[in-house]
Amino acid sequence: MSGQTLYDKLWARHVVHEEADGTVLLYIDRHLVHEVTSPQAFEGLKLAGRAPWRIDSVVATADHNTPTDHWERGILDPISRLQVETLDANIKEFGARAYFPFRDPRQGIVHVIGPEQGATLPGMTVVCGDSHTSTHGAFGALAHGIGTSEVEHVLATQCLVAKKSKNMLVRVDGELPAGVTAKDMALAVIGRIGTAGGTGYAIEFGGAAVRALSMEGRMTLCNLAIEAGARSGMVAVDQTTIDYLKGRPLAPAGADWARAVDDWRTLVSDADAAFDATVVLDAAEIVPQVTWGTSPEMVCGVDGQVPDPARETDPTRREGLERALHYMGLAPYTPIGEIAVDKVFIGSCTNSRIEDLRAAAAVARGRKKADSVRQVLVVPGSGLVKAQAEAEGLHRIFLDAGFEWREPGCSMCLAMNADRLEPGERCAATSNRNFEGRQGQGGRTHLVSPAMAAAAAVTGHFVDIRTF
Amino acid sequence: MRAFTTLDGLVCPLDRANVDTDAIIPKQFLKSIKRAGFGPNLFDEWRYLDHGEPGMDNSRRPLNRDFVLNMPRFQGAEILLARENFGCGSSREHAPWALEDYGFRAVIAPSFADIFFNNCYKNGLLPIVLSASAVDRLFVECATHLDYRLAVDLDKQTVSTPSGLHYHFDITAHRKHCLLNGLDEIGLTLRHADKIRAFEATIAAERPWLR
C-alpha cells in the first residue's frame, strides 16, 4: 500500500462522520469571515434560532467594500456601508476569536491577515466565503473557499458536508531565474493545465523551486490554485513555515509550540505517496508572465505575442479567443512588449504582502510614473503590511515615483469600492482575475507580478523585468 | 430549500466556455445583505446595454437584444444549457441565487467549477454534467427547434429530449436525497452533534493548539 499525500493526511485528520457514498462531515478549525458573503449566513442562523457551534473559530475583517483613501470620511457608498455595519453588528452579537473592523490598525485583506496573525496554522482546515481561501494552504493546511450556505453550515455545526478530491502534484524543479517570481510560476502552471485543469483536485505544490519560495511566495502560489480550477492548493511544512509562524499573536506558544512543531513536521507527503495526476515544470524555463485575454489561462511570456484565433481548430475555443481579443482590444500577433497600459494596480490577496511591495519598490526606486499612465495604485494587504512598508521607507519610493499609496483592502482587484477601471481602460494588475468587467465594466486587465507591474508603470508598457 | 423532483422545462442555450461567476452576477450587486432579488441582474453586463447598479429600475434599462436571455423564444426558460467550466472564479453564492431567482431550475454543462457546483445544491438548483458530445447535440437541437424543452427526472437521474434520447447523469446519494426532499442540511448534520463533540474532545487532547 502506498503512503499518504499531505492532502490525504489533512483530510483523514478531520473526518467526523462518513456516509456510504463517501460524503463526509469534515471538521473545520478556522473560519475566516468577511462582510460580503456572511450577512445572509448570520441571518439564516438567526431565523432558524440556532447558536454558533464554536464562535472562537471565527476570525473576521471587512475588506471587500472598504475604501482605500480618506478613511476619516468613513464609507461613502450607503450600500457598502450597510454591509460593513452588518458585519460589525453580527460580530457584536455573536462574538469572534478576533475581529479587525474597518479602520483597525490590523485590518486588511482576510487572506493576508489570517497568516499574519497566526490564525492559519499547519494541519488546520481553513474555510472562508471567498474562493482565494486556497492561499492558506501555503502553511500545510487544507483551505478552500465556500459559499454562503456553507458559511452558515460551518457557523451552526463546525463542519462541512464534503467529498474528497483527487490528488494532483505540481512539481516545479530547479531554480527560478532572477526576476521570475511565484506569480509567474503560478501563471505558467495555469497556462499549462488551464483554468479547469485542477477541477476536482487538491493540488500540492512541490519541487525545489517551491521549497525555495518564502511564505509570501507560497501564499501567492496557493492563492492562484483556484484559478487553475483547484479549490485548494497546498505546500508541505518545512523550516520556512515554522520560522514564519513563531511569535505570531494567535500561534501556539510555550510548551504547546514545541508539541505543535513536532506535529507540523509530519505534514508532508510520504515519499511513496501516490498522486492521481502529476505535472512537472522546469523553473529555469519560466519567463515573466503576462495575461493577454479574459481568463487566467490566456497567458504567455513577456517575450511572446498575442495569439491568432484563426489557428485554433476547436470552434468553441476559437470563439472564446475571438471574444477575448475583441474585449481586450488586441490584434493577433501583437508583441506583449508593445501593449501600453492606462493604469497599474499593485495589491490584492495575491500580491500585497511586504515582499511584493519590496519587489515593486525596487523597480520604482528613482524612477517616475510614465506620463501616459493615468494612475498607479499601491494597496498594501493589511495595516501591518502598510506599517512595515512605511518603516522601510517604501511608501516614499512609491510617492516619489508618482504612485498612490493607499489604505489596505481588496480595492481594484474586484472593484467593489470606488477603485476601478473605466470602460476601455487597460491595467497591469498584480491581482488574480482578468475576467470581463472584473476591475470595472469594460476594463481590460493584464495579470503580472509586482515587479512587472511597477516596470509597466514607469515605462507605460510591458517590459521584460529580467533585462530592465 | 425547495425540493427538486422532475422538471419539464424550456431550454436557453449559452454558448460560451468558462462563464465565470463575475459574469453571472457582477460585484456591485454583492453589496446586498439579502438572499433574494438577484434575478433581474443575472448576466447584467451581457444582458443590458448600460451600466447596472443596485437600486436601478431594471425594467427601464436598455436591453441587449442579441443576448439569448432577451430573445423572445427563450422567455420563461428553466434550463440553462452551457459549456465547459461553467461557474468558474469567485465563490459567490449570489451566482446560483441569481440563476434561481431568474427562474432557472437546472444547468446542463460538460463540466462545472467545483465551488459553484457545490453551491447550486444548497439552493435547489440542479447542476447536470453530461458528456461534451451530448451537450454538443443538445446545442444543435436547441438551435434548430423552437420551444425546445428537456425533461429532467432526478430520481431516475435522466435528461430526456423531445426526440426520445435519454441521457444519464451522476449525483451523490447524499445530494440526491437532500434535493428530492428539500432537506435542511444543517438539521441533518446536527443529528451527528454527539459525534462532533466527541471529535472535538479527542482533538482538544491531541492537538490543543488548534483552539
B80-92: per-residue pLDDT in tens? 999 999 999 999 9
Instruction: For A54, name the nearest residue in chain B, comparing CA atoms only.
Output: B211
Inter-chain touch B45–A121, beta carbons under 8 Å? no
Instruction: For A13, name the nearest residue in chain B, comparing CA atoms only.
Output: B203
Over residues A335-360, the mean pLDDT reads 98
* Residues A110/A14, Cβ–Cβ less than 8 Å: no
Tell me whether residue A212 is exposed, middle or buried, using C-beta atoms within 10 angstroms of its C-beta: 0 to 12, 13 to 18, 19 or more: middle
Which of B186, B200, B207 comes nearest A263 by C-beta? B207
Q: Which residues of A touch B133 (CB under 8 A)?
A: none
Q: Which residues of A touch B85 (CB under 8 A)?
A: 195-196, 199, 229
A199-213: per-residue pLDDT in tens? 999 999 999 999 999
**C-alpha–C-alpha distance, residues A3 and A123, integer Å:** 18
Q: Does A436 touch chain B (CB under 8 A)?
A: yes
CA dist list (Å): A120 to A126, A135, A138, A230, B177: 7, 10, 10, 19, 35
Inter-chain touch B113–A199, beta carbons under 8 Å? yes
Instruction: For A134, name the nearest residue in chain B, comparing CA atoms only.
Output: B91
Q: Does B119 touch chain A (CB under 8 A)?
A: yes
**C-alpha–C-alpha distance, residues A138 and A133, integer Å:** 10
A100, β-bridge pairs:
A61
Over residues A261-269, the mean pLDDT reads 98
For residue A326, pLDDT beyond 70: yes
Q: What is the pLDDT of residue A373?
A: 98
CB atoms within 10 A of CB A49: 6
Q: What is the pLDDT of residue A316?
A: 86
Question: What letter does residue B13 receive in the DSSP assignment?
Answer: E
For residue A422, pLDDT beyond 80: yes
Sheet-wide strand order for A426-429: A404-405, A375-378, A343-346, A426-429, A444-447
Question: What letter does residue A76 receive in the DSSP assignment?
Answer: -
**C-alpha–C-alpha distance, residues A311 and A317, integer Å:** 11
Instruction: Assign A48 a pLDDT band (cuts: 50, 70, 90).
Output: very high
C-alpha distance from B88 to closest chain A C-alpha (Å): 7
Q: What is the pLDDT of residue B157?
A: 98
Look up the pTM and report it.
0.97
Over residues A147-162, the mean pLDDT reads 98
B143-196: per-residue pLDDT in tens? 999 999 999 999 999 999 999 999 999 999 999 999 999 998 999 999 999 999
For residue B106, pLDDT beyond 90: yes
ipTM of this model? 0.96
Q: Which residues of A touch B210 (CB under 8 A)?
A: 29, 121, 123-124
Q: Does A82 touch chain B (CB under 8 A)?
A: yes
Q: What is the pLDDT of residue B1?
A: 85
Q: What is the pLDDT of residue A466?
A: 97
Q: Does A163 touch chain B (CB under 8 A)?
A: yes
**C-alpha–C-alpha distance, residues B41 and B175, integer Å:** 28
Nearest to B39 by CA among B129, B142, B123: B123
Instruction: For A66, name the nearest residue in chain B, comparing CA atoms only.
Output: B31
Nearest to A105 by CA among A387, A396, A390: A387
Which of B17, B85, B118 comes nearest A147 by C-beta? B118
Which of B54, B119, B184 comes nearest A79 by C-beta? B54
A229-244: per-residue pLDDT in tens? 999 999 999 999 999 9
To the nearest 10°, report the CA torsion of B44, B46, B48, B51.
70
Instruction: Assign B142 a pLDDT band (cuts: 50, 70, 90).
Output: very high
User: What mean pLDDT is reported for chain A?
Assistant: 97
Question: What letter does residue A423 receive in the DSSP assignment?
Answer: T
When computed from its CA atoms, the radius of gyration of chain B, rounded to whole angstroms, is 19
B113-126: per-residue pLDDT in tens? 999 999 999 999 99
For residue A2, pLDDT beyond 90: no
Phi, psi of B42 (to 5 degrees): -60, 130
Inter-chain touch A19–B18, beta carbons under 8 Å? no
* Residues A200/A64, Cβ–Cβ less than 8 Å: no
Q: What is the pLDDT of residue B211?
A: 83
For residue A1, pLDDT beyond 70: no
* Residues A147/B118, Cβ–Cβ less than 8 Å: yes
